[in-house]
Amino acid sequence: MSRFVIVTAMALGLALGVVGSAQAADSKQVFDFYCAQCHGVNGDGKGINVTKDFATDPRNFTVTADMEKRSDEDIRGVIKDGGPSISKSPLMPPWGATLSAAEVDGLLAYIRTMCKCKGK
Amino acid sequence: MRLLAVTVSLGAALLVMATAPSYAAGGDAIFKKSCASCHYTDGPAKEKTISDQLAKKGPELFYAGSKFKKDWLAAWLQNPKPIRPMKYNSLSEVNKGDHPKMSAGDAAAVTDFLMGLTSPEVKAGVIKPAESAQAKAIFGKKMPCTGCHEYSVKGEVHGGKSGPSLVGAGKRLNPDWVYAYLANIKVFKPVRDMPDFASVLNPKDLENVAAYIATFE
């Protein structure tokens, strides 16, 4: 009996693990496609659009101290409505009409793995 | 007599069909042979996911006749200079400018074929080239356009690299298409790394921006 429970729990865990990583893979694809052009594939703010003309550096998501100041709600909001929605640079575009709510949630989770931080 | 008239007009119709569209059919055939491996010309847009977009080897051309100016197209096919600073669908490799080149004759035939591919979404003859303070502010300050697009100031190129360069856009793009693209982007490109601005800018702003891009040298 206990053996059965353990096996079931393991199978369930495995299944959950698979679902979890599939989601992470999707969010990486979404990030690489829409965000990496400015924020860089590693989230360090060094995307190919950041030339000498680029007036404000895109946020470096790997700086824990900066990113932990942002609540999850702030991050979702700035992704949907763009920089000016939180009095930041308009070079951060509004993606609300382009991305689904699930994609925005996935991006938030992905950014949290880059900063290794939680929102306050 | 009646029969004769019918026969004659039928004959004339056949003759017209055999002569006029055969030119276009030639362009069609050349396109199928040399170009269709990288470009599709049957709309509507097929991409549903990011993977669909990344699998494409070249931009879709099903609305090419509404998007491009004819003279530019015929010249570019003979001497294709890079439009996108980066290789298509890449954020790391630069565009090497290795697009296939065509002879003047083939380019003319294919241009006729492509200019026949128009979109009902594009109203012709509405947007005229014009600079305005509003459009300049939107393009250069209020919106992130310059973050992803190159543009030229007195011959000096500025701006980002992920989007197609807008240097020379006045010669290349039909301003009516630019307006339709900004107003209803999903019809042309359902999956693309440019945001949908139609809910952020009102139709008048979009018109002004399209008219402004039409002045780009």
- The mean-pLDDT minimum among A21-30, B20-29, B35-44 falls in B20-29
Question: Is residue A12 assigned to a domain?
Answer: no
How large is the average pLDDT for residues B33-58? 97
Q: Residue ranges per domain, chain B?
A: 22-213
Closest CA relative to residue A61, chosen from A25, A112, A119: A112
Taking contacts as CB-CB distances below 8 angstroms, the residues of chain B near A94 are 195, 197, 200
ipTM over 0.95: no
Question: Is residue A62 assigned to a domain?
Answer: yes
Structural domain containing residue A96 = 25-115
Residues paired with B151 in a beta bridge: B158
Cβ–Cβ gap B199/A97 under 8 Å: yes
Question: Is residue A44 assigned to a domain?
Answer: yes
Select from A30, A48, A96 the Cβ nearest to the Cβ of B162: A48
pLDDT at position B15 is: 45
Question: Is the pLDDT at B13 greater than 50, yes or no?
Answer: no
The total of structural domains in chain A comes to 1
Taking contacts as CB-CB distances below 8 angstroms, the residues of chain A near B151 are none
Taking contacts as CB-CB distances below 8 angstroms, the residues of chain A near B196 are 97-98
Q: pLDDT tens for residues B194-207?
A: 999 999 999 999 99
Residues of chain A short of pLDDT 70, as ranges, are 1-25
- Measured CA to CA, the distance from residue A96 to residue A31 in angstroms comes to 14
Q: pLDDT tens for residues B84-115?
A: 999 999 999 999 999 999 999 999 999 999 99
Question: Is residue A61 assigned to a domain?
Answer: yes
Select from B92, B148, B196 the Cβ nearest to the Cβ of A98: B196
- Please give, rounded to a whole number of angstroms, the shortest distance from the CA of B50 to a CA of chain A: 8
Would you say A55 and A91 are in contact if contact means Cβ atoms under 8 Å apart?
yes
Would you say A16 and A8 are in contact if contact means Cβ atoms under 8 Å apart?
no
Closest CA relative to residue A115, chosen from A37, A63, A41: A63
CATH number of the structural domain spanning residue A79? 1.10.760.10
- Measured CA to CA, the distance from residue A80 to residue A100 in angstroms comes to 9
How large is the average pLDDT for residues B105-131? 97
Which residue has 């599939």 as its token pair? Answer: A22
Mutation for testing the B interface, residue in A26, A30, A35, A49 having most B CBs under 10 Å: A49
pLDDT at position B26 is: 92
Question: Is residue A3 assigned to a domain?
Answer: no
pTM of structure:
0.90
Which chain A residue has the Cα nearest residue B157? A53
- Concatenated DSSP letters of A88-110: --TTS---TTTS-HHHHHHHHHH
β-strand B156-159 against B150-153: which pairing, if any? antiparallel
Question: Is residue A8 assigned to a domain?
Answer: no
The separation between CA B99 and the C-alpha centre of its own chain, rounded to angstroms, equals 16
Strands, E, within chain B: which ranges?
150-153, 156-159
Any idea what DSSP says for residue A70?
S
B190 prior amide bond cis, ω within 30: no
pLDDT at position B5 is: 52
pLDDT at position A119 is: 83
Provide, rounded to the nearest whole percent, the portion of chain B with pLDDT above 90. Answer: 88
